[in-house]
Amino acid sequence: MIVSVVVRSRDEADRLRLTLASLKEQTARAEIVVVNDGSADHTADVIAEAAASLPLTVVDHATPRGRSGAANAGARAATGDILLFLDGDTLAGPDFVARHGALHTPGDRVLARGETFHLRCTRFLRDPDTGTPAPGQEARLARLPASELEEMRVTRDQVIGDFAAIERRAMPGIYPGAGPHRLYELEMEAIVRHPACTVLWAAVSAANLSVRRQDFLRVGGFDEALDINEHRELALRLTLEGARILPALGARTYHMTHRSGWRDPIRRTDWQETFYRAHPIPAVKLLPLFWASLSDGGRVPAALRINSLLELEAASRGEADFDPDAADDFIRELAALP
């Protein structure tokens, strides 16, 4: 079965150059579709440079359409049997394509979630390859010794010839911090050890997710009203139809983090309103409480804490000693915190 890797990218040209280099080094062949989602930087130049040695299908948006819109456009342009999603600031480990491809067989409806890591060392860099500081970080980096600056770099040479040098600096979780690290562990544990758990849709990853292209297109792809948690909403739709969620062990991605912020699903509530309107089930409403229980530093009362996907499942079924009204009130409080 042919795998199409769909890379969505906006204004992250220097990281995208490394992402495309990592796709060139895959142990299995794949179709590569790059969606330039209205970038204002030199993304077009990076794509043209990569296309000289890596066959690419390119989708250009004159104006940004958002994460979901970009991914959907890439999926429509793809021709493979399997869609494998990746972000333009994320490296693919050498076996990324091969590991995902091996999990899909004709007639089997599967969503596969791989192993997600992050590279905290890149957070102050505009260009991880050259070590160029991000705007506003020049003075910070000027104070560092040369050896520390060198350790922050993620270079094209490393991607091509010494990926182990990148792997050594990687940490589990898409973002830095104890909460994302713990969330990653719980998500992968649930997928590996509890395949019958009914809330595994909440454990998929946006930038390391594969799905049959015909299933993705049949259900309409990602909900373009969502630019956060769109992958979980898609997974819920497909699992309601009988699709299984499998772990793509060994399919590793490495997010080259940056300090421009992230889409905090606890502080932002717009996604939940859209998500819950489409799927009015308790588990959707309780997701922020689960995430807050892992990362809030103890602010969630003990009686409301949700510490695993299995506990989320039990709470959503009413099988736990849990006050849903108190949970709703506390979730609103979390969203209002500074």
pLDDT (tens digit per residue) in 174-196? 998 888 999 999 999 999 999 99
Model confidence at 257, pLDDT cuts 50, 70, 90, reads very high
Residue 15 in this model has a pLDDT that exceeds 60: yes
pLDDT of residue 247: 98
Whether 226 has a pLDDT exceeding 80, the answer reads yes
Could you tell me the pLDDT band of residue 327, with boundaries at 50, 70 and 90? confident
223 vs 337, more confident: 223
**Domain ranges in the chain with CATH number 3.90.550.10:** 3-120+171-256
* Nearest partner of 37 among 54, 57, 60, 55, judged by Cα: 60
Model-level pTM? 0.94
pLDDT, one tens digit per residue, over 124-153 is: 999 999 999 999 999 999 999 999 999 999
Among left, alpha and beta (phi > 0; psi -120 to 50; other), residue 129 is alpha
Q: Where are the alpha helices (DSSP H) in the chain?
A: 13-24, 43-51, 66-77, 96-101, 138-142, 146-152, 156-161, 163-167, 178-193, 213-218, 230-240, 270-278, 282-295, 309-316, 324-336
Higher local confidence (pLDDT), 261 or 196: 196
Confidence of residue 337 (pLDDT cuts 50, 70, 90): low
* Overall fold of domain 3-120+171-256: Spore Coat Polysaccharide Biosynthesis Protein SpsA; Chain A (3.90.550)
The answer, yes or no, to whether residue 262 has pLDDT greater than 90, is no
Per cent of the chain over pLDDT 90 is 80
What is the spatial distance between Cα 271 and Cα 284, in angstroms, rounded to a whole number?
Answer: 10
The pLDDT of residue 300: 83
Q: Averaged over 32-55, what is the pLDDT?
A: 97
Of 66-75, 222-231, 316-325, the one with minimum mean pLDDT is 316-325
- Give the pair of three-digit tokens for residue 307: 């510490």
